[in-house]
């Protein structure tokens, strides 16, 4: 049994590594969150009965129906109803006996894969299971030759506990395949001497998931285009002189010529002030969103310019390189990078109301070099 458990664990870890590497290569983002959601499961398999007598130890069929929910990507719970039939047909010459078991369990589900990769819709999930429950044993066909006749105990309720594990393969956001195995700590309902035994079980089944929430998608912000305009002014035109009727010159008195008016200076055209604007880039290392010590100089430069231009606003846009990770992870880290630069500016005396943030993930690559796209582009513009 120990060798089988070790082989099962090794196979599980190998499958997990294969499916996770495959998931990192996917660039299309799914349109739903990994949690919370609810599920209904139907399973069938077998359980091994263990009592103090070799006669009673055998593999018997088992079935279960589950209803549960995951509240976070790694924590969930379920209520399971299960049943199996346990019988023997070679008790000397006195016939057979038969036991029908009905039970219910309340289980806690710990998704190890969801704990390691909480922001993904993982293809393969490794889940640890622990729980408690009750069992109802219904006895029939009790032969008198059995060393411990079942009718001495009668139909009754007993307690049980559970430890196990599960492989959950998500074929679709609404359907999955499950392989579950573990141990049920069962009260021995045949022997009057040994009271509790660990019974192993193994089941496979289908899982129907529902109630997923839609994933949050950021709306790309468009930068307004400021059109520079210059008002045109026309010079004032001197009014035309009124027409004077021509008079006959008097022979003796000649009129003095009127002085010509001095030309008035043309007004200078007024040019609208062009708002000042600057762009700065804050770069990050792979997988990081905290501003490094080398890049703090750039943050201080942005803060100094903002203090010199009190009416200016700052637009911070976070990016991630397309060469690593996947779209979901890159979207999340670009959001954190933009928020980190904003916090650094606020600590340097810039009001948060003057700063807006956006995140493009790896959907937009502002630089030709892949590694330079791990950045936050800061556009500071005077209004």
Instruction: Give the Cα separation of 11 and 114 in Å (integer).
Output: 19
Q: Is residue 215 part of a domain?
A: no
Q: Is residue 194 part of a domain?
A: yes
143 contacts 91 by C-beta, under 8 angstroms: yes
Integer-rounded Cα Rg, in Å, for the chain is 41
- Highest mean predicted confidence (pLDDT) among 53-57, 78-82, 155-159, 214-218: 78-82
Question: How many distinct structural domains can be found in the chain?
Answer: 2
168 contacts 128 by C-beta, under 8 angstroms: no
In this structure, the answer to whether residues 283 and 373 fall within a common structural domain is: yes
Instruction: Give the Cα separation of 332 and 327 in Å (integer).
Output: 9
pLDDT at 5 over 90: no
Write down the pTM of the prediction. Answer: 0.46
Beta bridge partners of 378: 280, 316
Q: Please, how many CA atoms are within 13 Å of residue 258, restricted to the half-sphere of its CB?
A: 4
pLDDT of 181 = 93
Which residue in 158, 101, 151, 114 sits closest to 132, CA to CA?
158
Cis omega (within 30 of 0) on the bond before 36?
Answer: yes
Q: Using the 3D structure, point to which of 163, 185, 210 is the last residue of a domain.
A: 210
362 contacts 327 by C-beta, under 8 angstroms: yes
In this structure, the answer to whether residues 206 and 284 fall within a common structural domain is: no
In this structure, the answer to whether residues 52 and 196 fall within a common structural domain is: yes
In this structure, the answer to whether residues 41 and 147 fall within a common structural domain is: yes
User: Which residues span the domain enclosing 375?
Assistant: 277-382
In this structure, the answer to whether residues 71 and 178 fall within a common structural domain is: yes
pLDDT at 340 over 50: yes
pLDDT of 131 = 93
Q: Is residue 216 part of a domain?
A: no
pLDDT of 129 = 95
Task: Name 75's Cβ contacts closer than 8 Å, sequence gap at least 6.
Answer: 108, 109, 110, 111
Q: Is residue 80 part of a domain?
A: yes
Which residue in 23, 232, 262 sits closest to 123, CA to CA?
23
Strand 277-283's sheet: what is its strand order?
277-283, 375-382, 312-319, 355-361
pLDDT of 370 = 92
Q: Using the 3D structure, point to which of 210, 229, 249 is the last residue of a domain.
A: 210
Q: What is the mean pLDDT of residues 73-82?
A: 92
Q: Which residue has the tokens 């022979």?
A: 251
Helix pair angle (327-347, 296-308), 10° resolution: 50
Q: Which is more confidently placed, 254 or 81? A: 81
pLDDT of 134 = 87
- Average per-residue pLDDT for the chain: 77
Instruction: Give the Cα separation of 240 and 238 in Å (integer).
Output: 6
In this structure, the answer to whether residues 188 and 67 fall within a common structural domain is: yes
CATH number, position 121: 2.40.160.20
Q: Which is more confidently placed, 33 or 30? A: 33
In this structure, the answer to whether residues 148 and 45 fall within a common structural domain is: yes
User: Which tens digit of pLDDT belongs to each residue from 130-160?
Assistant: 999 888 877 665 554 444 444 444 567 778 8
Q: Is 360 helix (H, G, I), strand (E, B) or coil?
A: strand
Alpha helices in the chain (DSSP H): 2-24, 112-116, 296-308, 327-347
Q: Using the 3D structure, point to which of 165, 180, 210 is the last residue of a domain.
A: 210
pLDDT at 321 over 90: yes
pLDDT of 83 = 87
Categorize the per-residue pLDDT at 7 as very low, low, confident or very high, splitting at 50, 70 and 90.
Answer: low
In this structure, the answer to whether residues 201 and 287 fall within a common structural domain is: no
pLDDT at 222 over 80: no
Q: Is residue 158 part of a domain?
A: yes
CATH number, position 309: 3.30.1330.60
Categorize the per-residue pLDDT at 238 as very low, low, confident or very high, splitting at 50, 70 and 90.
Answer: low
Beta bridge partners of 135: 103, 158
């Amino acid at each position: 049994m120990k060798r089988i458990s070790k082989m099962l664990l090794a196979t599980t870890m190998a499958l997990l590594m294969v499916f996770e590497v495959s998931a990192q290569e996917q660039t299309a983002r799914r349109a739903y969150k990994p949690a919370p959601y609810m599920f209904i499961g139907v399973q069938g398999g077998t359980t091994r009965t263990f009592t103090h007598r070799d006669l009673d130890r055998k593999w018997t069929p088992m079935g279960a129906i589950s209803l549960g929910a995951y509240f976070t990507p790694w924590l969930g719970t379920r209520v399971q109803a299960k049943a199996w039939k346990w019988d023997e047909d070679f008790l000397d010459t006195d016939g057979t006996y038969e036991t029908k078991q009905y039970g219910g369990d309340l289980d806690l589900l710990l998704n190890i894969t969801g704990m390691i990769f909480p922001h993904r819709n993982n293809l393969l999930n490794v889940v640890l299971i622990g729980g408690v429950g009750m069992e109802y044993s219904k006895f029939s066909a009790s032969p008198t030759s059995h060393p411990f006749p079942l009718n001495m105990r009668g139909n009754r309720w007993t307690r049980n506990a559970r430890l196990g594990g599960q492989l959950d393969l998500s074929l679709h956001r609404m359907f999955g395949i499950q392989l579950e195995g573990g141990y049920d700590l069962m009260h021995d309902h045949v022997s009057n001497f040994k009271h509790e035994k660990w019974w192993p079980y193994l089941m496979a089944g289908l899982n129907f998931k529902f109630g997923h929430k839609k994933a949050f998608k950021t709306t790309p912000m468009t930068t307004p285009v400021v059109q520079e305009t210059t008002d045109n002014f026309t010079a004032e035109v001197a009014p035309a002189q009124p027409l004077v009727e021509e008079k006959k010159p008097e022979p003796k008195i000649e009129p003095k010529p009127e002085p010509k008016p001095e030309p008035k200076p043309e007004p200078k055209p007024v040019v609208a002030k062009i708002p000042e604007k600057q762009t700065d880039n804050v770069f990050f290392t792979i997988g990081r969103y905290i501003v490094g010590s080398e890049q703090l100089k750039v943050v201080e430069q942005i803060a100094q310019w903002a203090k010199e231009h009190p009416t200016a606003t700052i637009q911070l846009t976070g990016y991630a390189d397309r060469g690593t990770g996947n779209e979901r992870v890159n979207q999340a880290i670009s959001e954190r990078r933009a928020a980190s630069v904003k916090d650094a500016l606020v600590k340097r005396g810039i009001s948060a109301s003057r700063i807006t943030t956006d995140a493009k993930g790896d959907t937009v690559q502002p630089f030709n070099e892949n590694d330079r796209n791990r950045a936050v582009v800061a556009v500071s513009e005077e209004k």
